[in-house]
Homo-oligomer: A and B are copies of this chain.
Amino acid sequence: MRLPSIRQLQYLQAVVSLRHFAQAAERCHVTQSTLSTGIQELEGLLGAQLLERSKRKVLPTPLGLAMADKAEQLLSLAAQMVEEAQQDRPLLSGPLRLGVIPTIGPFLLPQVLPSVRERFPQLELYLVEAESAVLLKKLEEGDLDCAIFALPYELGRMESQVFASETFWVALPKGHRLASGGPIAPAQLVDDELLLLEEGHCLRDHALSACHRRDLQQKAAFQGTSLYTLIEMVAGGQGITFLPNMAVNSALMQHKDIELRPLAEAGPHRELALVWRKEYYRKVDLEALTACLSELLENGV
């Protein structure tokens, strides 16, 4: 079905409300001739007469009136569209779907979200906690706007912005031979059972990388489902593990049967980054968010 054009509807609306071709043309910023042919085309398209014309009067037919009415609705809808689109939203307002990996979420978010919410009160955050691979998939599918990852991680076509660095700590059972003293070098731990999160957590790879080990086929019983369970296993004397800075500082990680020592290995051991599709339509917002996070973490929140 061939539809009338917006222009034609504007012509109709004008001529029905003014009852005068020349005046209507002026309102539409076209010549009388243009408007005249426009109306004729509309009538042809609709297959019905919309106006009675004489040299002295322009008289809408009942159908013309009805059509003008609908045209008005339609035009106002179109105008609404433009208005709605053109009002530029303030930075970081409206819905934002943010993914976080489980080894960051519980430690970072309680720390920073109150300030973020205070700074951007119109922001509506929808949080999703999942492993990196899942988040990456959701990002690609458009189910998330952005996500917080721990790097290094293969991000594919995503863009990212690092907003914090972390070093690792060694978590030892109380009474371990290295339990007191200064930083611990990876070489000192070769004889210890290294407890890791189950497959899929990037922290597993980062930890291995920090102590220059290859991946080891651990028994499922020795794989933690979360840092909390891992800590319990360390406290139980089943081995040692590495914890990121952020977890160490968290009150949730305090445990009376655990000793913590810095890992003596140069450079940051993982970096926290905000990640998004490179086609994402509001990168400025995300850049503002990373700036905000970075600032909050530098100032110790």
Residue numbers of A with Cβ under 8 A of B are 1-7, 10, 45-49, 52-54, 57, 59, 61-63, 66-67, 70-71, 73-75, 77-86, 88, 94-95, 140-142, 157, 277-282
CB distance from A212 to the nearest CB of B (A): 37
Which residues of the other chain, B, contact A48 by a CB distance below 8 angstroms? 85-86, 88
CB distance from A37 to the nearest CB of B (A): 18
Which residues of the other chain, B, contact A54 by a CB distance below 8 angstroms? 157, 277-279
Which residues of the other chain, B, contact A59 by a CB distance below 8 angstroms? 142, 277, 279
Which 9 A-B pairs give the minimum distances between C-beta atoms?
Answer: A46-B85, A52-B279, A59-B142, A49-B281, A3-B78, A61-B281, A48-B85, A74-B77, A70-B81
Q: Which residue of B3, B81, B86, B279 is within 8 Å of A6 (Cβ)?
A: B3
B3 touches A82 (CB 8 A): yes
Which residues of the other chain, B, contact A66 by a CB distance below 8 angstroms? 84
B62 touches A73 (CB 8 A): no
What separation, in Å, do the CA atoms of A43 and B63 have in the docked complex?
34
Given contacts A94-B62, A142-B52, A277-B54, contact A81 B47 (CB under 8 A): no
Q: How many copies does the complex hold?
A: 2
Which residues of the other chain, B, contact A279 by a CB distance below 8 angstroms? 52-54, 59
23 A-B residue pairs with CB within 8 Å: A1-B79, A1-B82, A3-B78, A4-B6, A5-B6, A45-B82, A46-B81, A46-B82, A47-B88, A48-B85, A52-B142, A52-B279, A54-B279, A59-B142, A59-B277, A62-B95, A66-B84, A67-B84, A67-B85, A70-B80, A70-B84, A73-B77, A74-B74
B277 touches A52 (CB 8 A): yes
Closest B residue to A84 using CB positions? B66
Which residues of the other chain, B, contact A277 by a CB distance below 8 angstroms? 52, 54, 59
Closest B residue to A78 using CB positions? B3
Which residues of the other chain, B, contact A4 by a CB distance below 8 angstroms? 6, 78, 81-82
Closest B residue to A75 using CB positions? B3
Residue among A81, A86, A95 facing the most chain B CB atoms (10 A cut-off) = A81
Closest B residue to A74 using CB positions? B77
Which residues of the other chain, B, contact A73 by a CB distance below 8 angstroms? 77
Which residues of the other chain, B, contact A141 by a CB distance below 8 angstroms? 57
Which residues of the other chain, B, contact A1 by a CB distance below 8 angstroms? 79, 82-83
Closest B residue to A47 using CB positions? B86
What separation, in Å, do the CA atoms of A12 and B84 have in the docked complex?
16
Residue among A1, A85, A140 facing the most chain B CB atoms (10 A cut-off) = A85
CB distance from A16 to the nearest CB of B (A): 12
B57 touches A142 (CB 8 A): yes
B85 touches A3 (CB 8 A): no
Which residues of the other chain, B, contact A5 by a CB distance below 8 angstroms? 5-7
What separation, in Å, do the CA atoms of A142 and B65 have in the docked complex?
13
